[in-house]
């Protein structure tokens, strides 16, 4: 009953907004609050149907390994998409309030609308494929292909709209390449790589309560802050693209907050691959459409570190156990680094493992004869635990979020202070 | 290995097409053949993962009720969407072959691109919601809402592009309303009702092997034939919208043929709600975007008959058992009409049931005391069986397809011969 009353109130608000010319930012702000609230209410109500559909998993870092519903990312992603669907007309309202023709030519910005629709199509494709992954457990090689498929509408839209494939060459390389370089088709390759990286890098810095939604929330807030630096600025094209970015970030922040509420320690729901893909693709899309993909990448410093740090295991130079999550010590109730066995190492793997241990990036345990037995798995979560000692699960999630905040600080510094050394 | 060779050949073909200016119809024809072939090969290969995801159901009209994979519609819908994603640039190639500006104004048809993207977004939303329905078994009242949500991008796109909400008034009503009537917001209500009808009406003329894909195939071919009457005609706007419709129909015909191959008696796969929603929405979308929704509705005569005929049970005036499918008689191997009990009838239900029995639209069975015991369920499938007598399952599916062909004949007659009596 409460939900019905709220729905009526929300609909009434939407009707009022649709009959007045208000700043689209106000509208998307309103939609975001409503979407966040609906997500916050719906997630617990829908848990049952996830159990019925057998979308549930054990929370392995709790003493009793409770079974909790999985893939709730699908709920927030659906609410998010609905909010943006309903928002479509608002940025364009000024064109139907006045006569739409200047000297017989329609001034309606169909190109902008096309970008908006292509971005939504791309996001929805990724959510859809992410959900298919949660239902079908798609194999890794196909998983890597999914963002490529999902980004096709965006690539097409990009190609069709302006298709700028120039890059500004950093200073050290200008003697070779000149100031501006047209990288042509490589630009599209870059876009695809970016979507693959953004979607999967959140998916591998994952596995403890709150960490996927937590890091995504910080990234989204950072991108939104960066957008706010431009939206009232003198550079009209820059203001436009950052406004576009805000339209996507504000509802994302709202629904992610709702999801984090239920996914925070002790989690009542899991977010699923769906959420990780959805989040990563949202960031990639705004970066690509807004032509600030390098800034978006700067917000991914912890994910980049985690990915590079993980590569020896991801490429099987060092043995990679199926799960590399920190392990619960049931006696202390704290998480400790998980470990990989050091038998059957190739000479290269042997050298690399010793090197990492020597510089403090992993920690060996030794057999009775002083030969190395195991090393900590190469993930950022385990690395944190090496230096902090065992942590409570929610503390570890908090540390990751704090690192993400520091990363954003570094990103802003590079973007606005150090950039002059390069461009 | 064979599949790899085929993929390489298909990709080579696509590259050749992308480097030459060819008629987009040739391109979509090529994409359709490839999509149909890929679907035909993939459906059996993917069956296992549907079992693993517990997306499977019993085929109740076989003696041993075998368990077969369900919701394979998701596979064909995904292949279909990928084909259309990749097709996006082709209708627009002529604009990037030449200089895109006429007196400084870009001539690129962003409005057309927007319509295309909105249509794809709408279709993908419906596929996504249909799949969610297959996974979660969503309740009826929410099911009815799903096409409404999915059609939002289309409504928005429609509103933003030209937003024509005029209708031409049929002759008998012109003294009252005049020749043209602006029905305003009612037009949008009509669009939503159309999507709800198209998606659900295929879903209720369902339940025997091959019938969902079979009827959809005939409808799609009928729409495509109607399109072909215009694409080379003198009316340029009509030619454009029917070309647009063909772009959506040709790959649909291809993937549906592939699905029907595996779903035909004895079915190796079920199509799922996903497919019914996907099919219905494809027809609704081309009708709406192409402004020939009344013609599309004319192609749905068997579905309209089935829906109206079902209403006494759908609205519970007459008892509605959970399953109304024809029943297998294991002794003959033939399907016979299923029946609903006639106890606990309201006076209205009693009168209606007697009336239907009197005019031959249902058939009673009687108790020993000559009071009515049961009546055949009110579905087109049962009605056919009343008149033909028991039929083999594949014969019944064939009869429905034949009725659909007759319906299309009637539709063309009304559309091109009788229309002059009304307009």
Residue of A19, A113, A159 to mutate, testing the B interface (most B Cβ within 10 Å of its Cβ): A113
Residue B294's Cβ-count burial label (10 Å; 0-12, 13-18, 19+) is middle
Q: Which of A88, A131, A160 sits opposite B92 (nearest CB)?
A: A160
Tell me what pLDDT residue A1 has. 43
| Per-residue pLDDT reduced to its tens digit, B131-153 | 999 998 888 777 877 888 888 88
Name chain A contacts of B111, Cβ cutoff 8 Å.
106, 108, 110
pLDDT score for A92: 82
Nearest to B114 among A50, A113, A132 (CB): A113
Is A160 in contact with B89 (Cβ distance < 8 A)? Answer: yes
How far is residue A198's CA from residue A192's CA, in Å, rounded to a whole number? 10
Closest CA to B215 of B201, B227, B229: B201
- 3-state class of B59 per DSSP? coil
Phi, psi for residue A245 in degrees, rounded to 5: -60, -40
- Is the pLDDT score of B246 beyond 80? yes
Nearest to A124 among B55, B96, B121 (CB): B121
Q: What is the dihedral of CA B153, B157, B159, B162, to 10 degrees?
A: -160
Find tokens 């029995």 and name the residue. Answer: B357
CB contact under 8 A, B160 and A96: yes
Residues of A contacting chain B (CB within 8 angstroms): 49-50, 52-55, 74, 78, 81-82, 85-86, 88-89, 92, 96, 105-106, 108, 110-111, 113-114, 117-118, 120-121, 124-125, 127-128, 131-132, 135-137, 149, 152-153, 156-157, 159-161
Instruction: Specify the residue for token string 């989690």.
Output: A267
Instruction: Count Cα neighbours of A59 within 13 Å in the Cβ-side half-sphere.
Output: 22
Given a contact cutoff of 8 angstroms between Cβ atoms, the answer to whether B202 and B212 are in contact is yes
Instruction: Inform me whether the pLDDT recorded for B1 exceeds 50.
Output: no
B94 C-beta neighbours (distance < 10 Å), count: 11
Interface test with B, best of A81, A107, A110 (most B CBs within 10 A): A110
Residue B84 Cα to chain centre, angstroms: 18
Q: What is d(CA A9, CA A46) in angstroms, rounded to the nearest whole number?
A: 22
Q: So where are chain A's domains? A: 2-290, 300-423
Q: What is the pLDDT of residues B361-399, one digit of tens each?
A: 999 999 999 989 999 999 999 999 999 999 999 999 999
B45 within 8 A of B75, measured Cβ to Cβ: no
Q: Taking chain A, what is the end-to-end CA distance rounded to the nearest angstrom?
A: 58
pLDDT per residue as tens digits for the range A218-249? 999 999 999 999 998 999 889 999 999 999 99
- Chain A residues within an 8 Å CB radius of B121: 85, 117, 120-121, 124
pLDDT given at position B112: 83
Residues in chain A with pLDDT values less than 50: 1
pLDDT of B292-304, one tens digit each?
A: 999 999 999 999 9
Size of chain A, expressed as the number of residues it contains:
423
- Residue B316: CB atoms within 10 A of its CB come to 10
Average pLDDT value for residue range B15-40: 86
Cα–Cα distance, B392 to B385 (Å, whole number):
10
Which of A43, A85, A13, A12 minimizes the C-alpha distance to A251? A85
């Amino acid at each position: 009953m409460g939900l019905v009353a709220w729905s009526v109130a929300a609909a009434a608000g939407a009707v009022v907004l649709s009959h007045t010319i208000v700043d689209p930012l106000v509208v998307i702000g309103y939609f975001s609050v409503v979407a966040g609230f609906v997500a916050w209410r719906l997630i617990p109500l829908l848990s049952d149907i996830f159990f019925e559909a057998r979308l549930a998993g054990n929370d392995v870092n709790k003493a009793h390994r409770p079974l909790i519903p999985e893939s709730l990312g699908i709920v927030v992603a659906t609410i998010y998409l609905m909010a943006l669907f309903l928002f479509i007309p608002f940025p364009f309202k000024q064109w139907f309030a006045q006569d739409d023709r200047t000297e017989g030519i329609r001034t309606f910005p169909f190109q902008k609308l096309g970008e908006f629709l292509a971005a939504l199509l791309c996001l929805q494709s990724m959510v859809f494929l992410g959900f298919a992954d949660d239902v079908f457990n798609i194999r890794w090689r196909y998983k890597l292909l999914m963002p490529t498929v999902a980004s096709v509408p965006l690539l097409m839209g990009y190609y069709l709209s302006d298709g700028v494939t120039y890059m500004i060459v950093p200073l050290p390389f200008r003697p070779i390449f000149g100031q501006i370089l047209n990288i042509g088709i490589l630009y599209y390759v870059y876009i695809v790589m970016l979507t693959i990286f953004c979607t999967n890098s959140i998916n591998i810095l994952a596995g403890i309560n709150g960490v996927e939604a937590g890091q995504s929330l910080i990234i989204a807030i950072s991108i939104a802050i960066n957008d706010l630096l431009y939206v009232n600025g003198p550079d009209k094209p820059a203001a436009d693209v950052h406004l576009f970015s805000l339209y996507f970030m504000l509802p994302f922040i709202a629904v992610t907050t709702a999801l984090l509420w239920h996914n925070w320690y002790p989690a009542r729901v899991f977010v699923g691959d769906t959420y990780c893909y959805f989040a990563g693709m949202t960031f990639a899309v705004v970066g690509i459409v807004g032509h600030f993909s390098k800034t978006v990448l700067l917000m991914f410093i912890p994910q980049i570190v985690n990915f590079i740090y993980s590569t020896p295991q991801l490429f099987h130079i060092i043995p990679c156990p199926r799960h590399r999550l920190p392990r619960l010590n049931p006696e202390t109730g704290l998480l400790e680094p998980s470990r990989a066995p050091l038998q059957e190492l190739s000479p290269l793997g042997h050298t690399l493992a010793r090197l990492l241990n020597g510089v403090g990036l992993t920690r060996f345990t030794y057999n009775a004869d002083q030969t190395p037995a195991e090393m900590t798995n190469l993930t950022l979560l385990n690395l944190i635990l090496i230096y902090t000692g065992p942590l409570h699960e929610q503390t570890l999630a908090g540390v990751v979020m704090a690192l993400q905040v520091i990363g954003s600080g570094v990103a802003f510094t590079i973007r606005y202070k150090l950039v002059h050394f390069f461009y």
